[in-house]
Amino acid sequence: MTSELAVVGQRVPKVDAIVKATGAARFSVDIRLPKMLHGRMLRSPHAHARVLHVDASRAARLPGVKDVLAFPDVPRVLHAGQPEPRAGSCARDQYILDDVVRFAGDGVAVVAAISEEIAEEALDLISVEYEPVPAVFDPEAAMLPGAPSLHGTDRNLVIPPFIVQSGDVERGFAEADYIFEDRYETSRHVPCYMEPNVCVCEFDAGGRLSVWTSTQAPFMVRGSLSEVLGIPMDRIRVICEHMGGGFGAKQDLYQLEYLCALLARRTGRPVKMEFTRAETFIAGRSRHPVSIELKQGVKRDGTLTARFGRYVANSGAYGSHGAGITRVGTSALGSLHRCPNVRVEGYCVYTNTPIAGAFRGYGAPQSFFALESQMDAIAEKLGMDPVELRLKNALQPGDRGPSGTPFINCHLPDCLRKGAELIGWAEKRRAPILSGPKRRGVGVACQLHSATSYPAVKEAAGAVVMLNEDGTAQILVGAADLGTGTKTILAQIAAEELGVRYEDVRVISGDTDVVPYDIGAYASRTTFIAGGAVQLAAAQAKKQLLALAADKLQTPAEELEARLGMIRVKAEPARTISIKEVVGPVRGAAPHSVIGEATNTPRNDYSFAAQFAEVEVDVETGQTQVLRMVAVHDIGRAINPTSAEGQVEGALQQGIGFALMEDMLIDAETGRTLNANLVDYKTLTALDMPQIEIVLLESDDPLGPFGAKGVAEDGMCPTAPAVANAIRHATGISMKQLPITAERLLDALYNQEGPVPD
């Protein structure tokens, strides 16, 4: 008898590695249909204006133009990123097209033509009469009385203030030996996924709508289109076979899905709408720029006595995921360390700027930047080592967060210790290079992140497992694979549970016609929740399989086990039968049908991480180079370590960019985006990447499939504060605004007087 895992934990190649590497994989952007039209959108140059009149007559006369739509031509229905299931996280404040534009880039009209070029040309022929109205770009200004109102809400708030409180903050501050107060600011960080947003819609002669789109949540798209266009769900098919990334932004809907479907319905032809790279910036979804006021009280020994945080997120012109993000980000601001008295307040504010939305970390990276930056200020003041201070305050298994959330499987202290050891913390902290133009420093920061959207949103993930007659298997899963390797992970889980080989499992996802419901690739939930559904469905199938094998082996099913395509008697490993022999056809008989299905139930769990950065700062140019990152992640079981490491590695690329360079800039006068391209918006290239060491601190989580927790978002949550703390170590300067560009750091270095002023 063995209980070793045969497939889970293996570094198997991705199921779609070859088709992706060879260019054979079909992405939504690759879809080309006969007689397909191309749609392009006219966008507002004004940050806030009434649209008095749209004259599309000249555009409509351009040869090749088949349809033009403006706000009077489309249903006046408020649409949301998701309808009801995400009402707790998503606003419902945007019309398909409106007679008001609320940011420079807001949609005004759309053209369908026989080529993209003609559609683009037609946009210039549309005359729009705007009446500009005052705009507001800053959230604090937007909350003031008399500020221009975007949606008629109190203080331009997307949701009422979100407050988490535990203990008595005033008393906590009174008990403190020291009080620290800082204000932190983060940037407009853009996900820069490879595949621009794209949508192809086609109605068949029977009125069924097929939608190929690049989405993390095919069922969200189906549900929203069904509601907004009034088409029953069984008549809408949403397909996303392969996907070039999303990072959260593609768990929202853009106008293009509705408009594409409307154009297809009106013209009777397939219509494709694809964002330009510029549109992925201007009309995409950035991370929320957040300003955080953070005040903490500590005892001389480093014990936290109180924390007050004020989290103000700039939602831009519409709410998108702002409600959920403000909840998660504000909650994160109250978390991570043991603190008896906490009050955190979250504000999500409309401004006349591009829309912020979901992006890896979902509001938490901003909070950890503030929290973990201030922890280093505290350590310095107390003369404590930053790792020691964190260990002293780290969450322990059994602790609860300020809102009562239990942390059951928590290995944060181990992450800190392991990372410190690997980076050579003790030695490097003792001897920072503080002379010469190039100065080196090391910094640390931690994070925690929930695997799922539960309890904010009730989870649902379905899976169906069907055994083929030759012992291979088909798995239908609702979960989408946004390029992260979902299908690979789910194939491993199915293979392990079912007892077949990895290569004998075929995972089908991304087609709402044939897979069971799944809320979408939100949060860091897919392995945890969808993986759990696959495990449950496979277990159900295995039960049927072992019952059939019990007959053939003349042994009770409980005494059998399935592994790598064979079933054997546990006590007599030589007595085996292949799964093919069990289920396959024999002369005159049909094969045995083995089908399992399951929907996973709502649950949640938290992953933890400590990251260590080593940087070199050129104090003559202000340029920071990250030399090395050590990332230690407590993620439960790694179903596929290569895949989990890949998630962390990709997140580090985004996290370092968030720390040092990435920021979509808005013109302070017009509200227009200044760097909506990959030349002026800088991200780390392969050459900019530091040496990376990733350690997966594995444990057997009691809730996840084969002990797995989430990992997708965690990798970037502590990166920016780790880098900022390393810069502080190298230079003595605490940078409180992201990104820490050379310009900003040089400015701070010029103004530096002696030790850091905290």
Q: In this chain, which of 205, 431, 574, 686 binds its own copies, going by CB under 8 A? A: 205
Using CB under 8 A as the binding rule, whether residue 602 contacts its own copies is answered as yes
**How many helices and strands (H and E) does the chain possess?**
19, 28
Work out how close the CB of 29 gets to its own copies at its nearest, in angstroms, rounded to a whole number: 16
Which one, 51 or 598, has the nearer CB to its own copies?
598
Taking CB under 8 A as the binding criterion, the range among 106-114, 581-589, 682-690, 748-756 that sits at the site for its own copies is 581-589
Assign residue 554 a region (left: φ > 0; alpha: ψ between -120 and 50; beta: otherwise): left
Which one, 88 or 148, has the nearer CB to its own copies?
88
- Phi then psi for residue 729, to 5 deg, are -65, -40
User: Is the omega angle on the peptide bond into residue 455 within 30 degrees of 0, that is, cis?
Assistant: yes
Using CB under 8 A as the binding rule, whether residue 623 contacts its own copies is answered as no
Contact of 598 with 440, CB cutoff 8 Å: no
Q: In this chain, which of 85, 357, 363, 718 binds its own copies, going by CB under 8 A? A: 85
Work out how close the CB of 395 gets to its own copies at its nearest, in angstroms, rounded to a whole number: 27
Using CB under 8 A as the binding rule, whether residue 265 contacts its own copies is answered as no
Nearest to 346 by CA among 307, 308, 313: 313
Using CB under 8 A as the binding rule, whether residue 513 contacts its own copies is answered as yes
Work out how close the CB of 500 gets to its own copies at its nearest, in angstroms, rounded to a whole number: 9
Using CB under 8 A as the binding rule, whether residue 604 contacts its own copies is answered as no
Half-sphere exposure of 721 (CA within 13 A, CB side): 27
Work out how close the CB of 231 gets to its own copies at its nearest, in angstroms, rounded to a whole number: 10
Using CB under 8 A as the binding rule, whether residue 16 contacts its own copies is answered as yes
Half-sphere exposure of 269 (CA within 13 A, CB side): 18
Contact of 595 with 476, CB cutoff 8 Å: no
Using CB under 8 A as the binding rule, whether residue 36 contacts its own copies is answered as no
Q: In this chain, which of 149, 276, 472, 621 binds its own copies, going by CB under 8 A? A: 472
Using CB under 8 A as the binding rule, whether residue 589 contacts its own copies is answered as yes
| Residues 369, 738: Cα–Cα separation, whole Å | 9
Work out how close the CB of 749 gets to its own copies at its nearest, in angstroms, rounded to a whole number: 49
Using CB under 8 A as the binding rule, whether residue 459 contacts its own copies is answered as yes
Tell me the two tokens of residue 658: 């968030």
Taking CB under 8 A as the binding criterion, the range among 341-349, 415-423, 509-517, 671-679 that sits at the site for its own copies is 509-517
Half-sphere exposure of 746 (CA within 13 A, CB side): 9
Taking CB under 8 A as the binding criterion, the range among 339-347, 578-586, 657-665, 716-724 that sits at the site for its own copies is 578-586
Which one, 187 or 452, has the nearer CB to its own copies?
452
First to last CA, the chain: 61
Q: In this chain, which of 124, 131, 170, 234 binds its own copies, going by CB under 8 A? A: 234
Q: In this chain, which of 417, 517, 570, 737 binds its own copies, going by CB under 8 A? A: 517
Using CB under 8 A as the binding rule, whether residue 312 contacts its own copies is answered as no
Taking CB under 8 A as the binding criterion, the range among 50-58, 80-88, 186-194, 359-367 that sits at the site for its own copies is 80-88
| Residue ranges with strand state E in 127-278 | 127-132, 162-166, 178-185, 198-203, 209-213, 236-239, 271-274
Q: In this chain, which of 226, 303, 670, 699 binds its own copies, going by CB under 8 A? A: 226
Which one, 138 or 470, has the nearer CB to its own copies?
470
Helix (H) or strand (E) holding 443: strand 438-450
Helix (H) or strand (E) holding 258: helix 255-267
| Residues 754, 649: Cα–Cα separation, whole Å | 36
Beta bridge partners of 608: 448, 634
Which one, 117 or 234, has the nearer CB to its own copies?
234
Contact of 135 with 352, CB cutoff 8 Å: yes
Contact of 251 with 217, CB cutoff 8 Å: yes
Taking CB under 8 A as the binding criterion, the range among 60-68, 201-209, 626-634, 665-673 that sits at the site for its own copies is 201-209
Q: In this chain, which of 3, 4, 22, 687 binds its own copies, going by CB under 8 A? A: 22
Work out how close the CB of 665 gets to its own copies at its nearest, in angstroms, rounded to a whole number: 36
Taking CB under 8 A as the binding criterion, the range among 73-81, 226-234, 238-246, 340-348 that sits at the site for its own copies is 226-234
Taking CB under 8 A as the binding criterion, the range among 17-25, 123-131, 153-161, 340-348 that sits at the site for its own copies is 17-25
Residue with tokens 């992953």: 607
Which one, 60 or 508, has the nearer CB to its own copies?
508
- Report the residue count for the chain: 758
Using CB under 8 A as the binding rule, whether residue 92 contacts its own copies is answered as no
Count the site residues for its own copies by CB under 8 A: 65
Which one, 177 or 597, has the nearer CB to its own copies?
597
Using CB under 8 A as the binding rule, whether residue 506 contacts its own copies is answered as yes
Site string for its own copies, 437-456 (x = CB under 8 A): -------------------x
Assign residue 235 a region (left: φ > 0; alpha: ψ between -120 and 50; beta: otherwise): alpha
Q: What CA–CA distances, in Å, run from 438 to 122, 323, 614, 622?
A: 54, 43, 13, 10
Q: In this chain, which of 330, 468, 486, 611 binds its own copies, going by CB under 8 A? A: 468
Residue 91, classified by CB atoms within 10 Å of its CB into exposed (0-12), middle (13-18) or buried (19+), is: buried
Using CB under 8 A as the binding rule, whether residue 106 contacts its own copies is answered as no
| Residues 447, 729: Cα–Cα separation, whole Å | 20
Using CB under 8 A as the binding rule, whether residue 497 contacts its own copies is answered as no
Work out how close the CB of 25 gets to its own copies at its nearest, in angstroms, rounded to a whole number: 8
Using CB under 8 A as the binding rule, whether residue 581 contacts its own copies is answered as no
Nearest to 476 by CA among 503, 513, 444: 513
Q: What CA–CA distances, in Å, run from 27 to 107, 212, 245?
A: 25, 9, 11
Using CB under 8 A as the binding rule, whether residue 588 contacts its own copies is answered as yes
Q: In this chain, which of 52, 78, 87, 408 binds its own copies, going by CB under 8 A? A: 87
Which one, 519 or 582, has the nearer CB to its own copies?
519
Map residue 226 onto helix, strand or coil. Answer: helix
Per-residue DSSP letters for 685-750? -GGG--EEEEEE-----SSSGGGB---TTGGGTTHHHHHHHHHHHHHS----BSS--HHHHHHHHH
| Contact set for its own copies, span 367-426 (CB under 8 A) | none
Map residue 118 onto helix, strand or coil. Answer: helix
Nearest to 57 by CA among 133, 154, 125, 145: 125
HEC profile of 296-328: EEECCCCCEEEEEEEEEEEEECCCCCHHHHHHH
Which one, 578 or 752, has the nearer CB to its own copies?
578
Using CB under 8 A as the binding rule, whether residue 78 contacts its own copies is answered as no
Residues that bind its own copies in the complex, under the rule CB under 8 A? 16-19, 21-24, 83-85, 87-88, 204-207, 219, 223, 226, 232-235, 456-460, 462, 464, 466, 468-470, 472-474, 476, 503-506, 508, 511, 513-517, 519, 584-593, 595, 597, 599, 602
